[in-house]
Amino acid sequence: MFNVAIVIFDEFTDIDYFLMRDIFGRCREDWNVSVLGTKPYHTSTLGQKVDTDGHASLANQADVVLFSSGQQGIPNALADEDFMRSFKLDSQRQIIGSICAGSFILHQLGLLDNTQATTHPDAKNALISMGADVEDKPLVIRGNIGTAGGCLSALYLTGWIAEKLFDSNKRREMHRQILPANQHELYEKMIVDAIAEAKI
Q: What is the mean pLDDT of the chain?
A: 96
Three-state SS letters, the chain: CEEEEEECCCCCCHHHHHHHHHHHHHHCCCEEEEEEECCCEEECCCCCEEECCEEHHHHHHCCEEEECCCCCHHHHHHHCHHHHCCCCCCCCCCEEEEEHHHHHHHHHCCCCCCCEECCCHHHHHHHHHCCCEECCCCEEEECCEEEECCHHHHHHHHHHHHHHHCCHHHHHHHHHHHCCCCCHHHHHHHHHHHHHHHCC
* pTM for the structure as a whole: 0.96
Cα–Cα distances in Å, from 56 out to 7, 97, 110, 120, 164? 7, 15, 17, 24, 24
Does residue 173 register a pLDDT over 90?
A: yes
Give 86-121 pLDDT, tens digit per residue. 999 999 999 999 999 999 999 999 999 999 999 999
Does residue 178 register a pLDDT over 80?
A: yes
| Cα of 9 vs its chain's centroid, Å | 13
- Pseudo-torsion of CA 166, 97, 54, 73, nearest 10°? -150
Q: Which pLDDT value is given to residue 152?
A: 95
φ, ψ for residue 193, nearest 5 deg: -65, -40
Give 54-89 pLDDT, tens digit per residue. 999 999 999 999 999 998 899 999 999 999 999 999
Distance CA 35, CA 26 (A): 16
β-pair partners for 4: 33, 64
Q: Which pLDDT value is given to residue 155?
A: 97
Instruction: Decide: 36 and 7 in contact? Cβ < 8 Å.
Output: yes
Does residue 10 register a pLDDT over 80?
A: yes
Q: Which pLDDT value is given to residue 200?
A: 75
The model's confidence at residue 145, banded by pLDDT at 50, 70 and 90, is: very high
